[in-house]
Chain A
């Protein structure tokens, strides 16, 4: 397969000579050399791109019917659900799409952590990814406010009040955010504007993310460097195009399962009650994908401290390439790290469980322990492991671990004779 795209039609040639756009897309999608041993955890990049595009398209269509006004927003969402042709489908795709987007991004991040994909020379890919994650959080939060149900309103109230923890200027900052003295129409309108803008910023970052990825090429489950164009790589098309598509189909089956059978499973019933500024719901929780961070926020018995710790829990991810001092990437060859990374995943899920519970008594104590462990993983365990862990010997190539003893001997003898 050639590295350069040769258009077949005269129009294609004319265009490509003046703007080699097709060349660029072709190069990144077709001959791009990819390690031959990528497993299904590597399909989430494609799945996430699909999620982003789905959210943008359904969001664009929903925005045609939605009204960003505190008096009309709730009714306009009900109008979408009841009156607009297929409005129920579009909204359920958008709402469940957000959840599945986060499911996919957490798997994608966990894969990077497990196989050390954030390490040199891929630090910047990871950091751009952290920024994408941050924007996703902001976008999802603002999107959840738009239906103007009870959870929307009180979620917005709680989160914007986080800024009031800032010393001295806190109150001015929150009033500035609200455009008033409480959450209301001005906040809703600006959240709608930003919710509309941010996916396009995410899209731009995704392009940088992929661009940065295609400089060193993909990491792989062995975590070793592969030589581009060697026996260790295969062209992206058809090998990974088909693998990604297959994974996407499986993902879509799950997606459709949520949309058509349990569309409200991941939402909260209280959000079908119109926002009431005079009454807080009895039990207020964020969407499931924010629960671990919510648990960290509540673990601290201090307003400012809780906010700082919650923000740090995300910000610390950006420093991961330097906090992890081990030169070996894949957990496959790091017996201690392999256990600790699983412990970290379990701890994060546990934090998510705690975030959904009432912050009191035993739950609060466990929340504090899990929070301490979350940070200890980054600032104690990872830096130390690099020095004390005895890693397993790395294979010389991707083929080596899968060869039998006889085949290896054959190769070795072949090399000498």
Chain B
């Protein structure tokens, strides 16, 4: 700070400037926020799925928040295969138990963590999922094993409402 005395004019400049900046910022916010997910989108933020029609070894894909969610009823072989993998072999180490509340049911967002394509089921070198866009291989727990994707397939928040129904979101 200089030695110049603070004048009435300095005070007016600073208070006016501050007030204007605060006003402008608060005016800009609605124009930014209008592009965020709106109330009608948020209202669709959860999806309930009836699991009864899904047979052992079968997958379905449901839409949740506009994204595909894979629900796979895994076979005992797939489960044991997933559990047998050593965490040291994984680029993104995660235990299978942490990825499936009920080992029989694998629920995950069906979007490749690389650049957003939908991986194909029961394909690839690890008998899990394979992304055709850039060749990422996922195992039977949806964990990344090989290819450019950085992380495992995302597990959404979901709960078992009862034995036959889950609620995603």
- Note whether A and B form a binding pair: yes
> Which A residues are within 8 Å of any B CB, using their own CB?
57, 61, 64-65, 79, 82-87, 89-90
B33→A90 contact, CB < 8 A? no
Residues of A within 8 A of B5 (CB): none
Residues of A within 8 A of B35 (CB): 64
B40→A85 contact, CB < 8 A? no
Closest Cβ of chain B to A82, distance in Å, is 7
* Residue B34 interfacial (CB < 8 Å): yes
* Residue B38 interfacial (CB < 8 Å): yes
Question: Given contacts A84-B39, A86-B33, A87-B34, could you give 12 more A-B pairs where the C-beta distance is less than 8 Å?
Answer: A57-B31, A61-B34, A79-B38, A79-B40, A83-B39, A83-B40, A83-B41, A85-B30, A85-B38, A86-B29, A86-B31, A90-B31
Instruction: Kindly identify which residue among B29, B33, B39 contacts A82, using a CB–CB cutoff of 8 Å.
Output: B39
* Assembly CA distance A119 to B31 (angstroms): 42
* Assembly CA distance A83 to B39 (angstroms): 5
| Total A-B residue contacts, Cβ distance less than 8 Å | 33
24 residue pairs from A and B, CB less than 8 Å apart: A57-B31, A61-B31, A64-B35, A79-B40, A82-B39, A83-B38, A83-B39, A83-B41, A84-B34, A84-B39, A85-B36, A85-B38, A85-B39, A86-B29, A86-B30, A86-B31, A86-B33, A86-B34, A87-B34, A87-B38, A89-B30, A90-B30, A90-B31, A90-B34
Closest Cβ of chain B to A253, distance in Å, is 12
Residues of B within 8 A of A84 (CB): 34, 38-39
* Assembly CA distance A370 to B33 (angstroms): 49
* Assembly CA distance A286 to B31 (angstroms): 30
Encode B35-48 as 1/0 by CB contact (under 8 A) with A: 11011110000000
* Assembly CA distance A86 to B27 (angstroms): 11
* Assembly CA distance A90 to B39 (angstroms): 16
Please provide the chain B residues from 67 to 94 with a CB less than 8 Å away from any CB of chain A in the complex: none
Nearest A residue to B29, CB-CB: A86
Encode B5-35 as 1/0 by CB contact (under 8 A) with A: 0000000000000000000000001110111
* Assembly CA distance A90 to B41 (angstroms): 19
Residues of B within 8 A of A82 (CB): 39
Residues of B within 8 A of A79 (CB): 38, 40
Nearest B residue to A87, CB-CB: B34
Nearest A residue to B33, CB-CB: A85
* Assembly CA distance A61 to B29 (angstroms): 13
Residues of A within 8 A of B29 (CB): 86
* Assembly CA distance A85 to B31 (angstroms): 9
Residues of A within 8 A of B34 (CB): 61, 64-65, 84-87, 90
Closest Cβ of chain A to B23, distance in Å, is 10
* Assembly CA distance A183 to B105 (angstroms): 55
* Assembly CA distance A123 to B148 (angstroms): 68
Residues of B within 8 A of A90 (CB): 30-31, 34
Nearest A residue to B40, CB-CB: A83
Closest Cβ of chain B to A247, distance in Å, is 16
Residues of A within 8 A of B40 (CB): 79, 83
Closest Cβ of chain A to B4, distance in Å, is 21
Q: Count chain B CB atoms within 10 A of each CB in A61, A82, A85, A89 and give the residue with the most.
A: A85
Closest Cβ of chain B to A67, distance in Å, is 13
Closest Cβ of chain A to B28, distance in Å, is 10
* Assembly CA distance A57 to B28 (angstroms): 11
Closest Cβ of chain B to A54, distance in Å, is 10
| 7 shortest interchain CB distances as A-B pairs | A86-B30, A83-B40, A83-B39, A85-B33, A83-B38, A84-B38, A85-B34
Q: Count chain A CB atoms within 10 A of each CB in B33, B38, B39 and give the residue with the most.
A: B38
* Assembly CA distance A89 to B33 (angstroms): 12
Nearest B residue to A252, CB-CB: B23
Residues of A within 8 A of B41 (CB): 83
* Assembly CA distance A89 to B31 (angstroms): 10
Nearest A residue to B42, CB-CB: A83
Closest Cβ of chain A to B37, distance in Å, is 8
Residues of B within 8 A of A87 (CB): 34, 38
Residues of A within 8 A of B38 (CB): 79, 83-85, 87
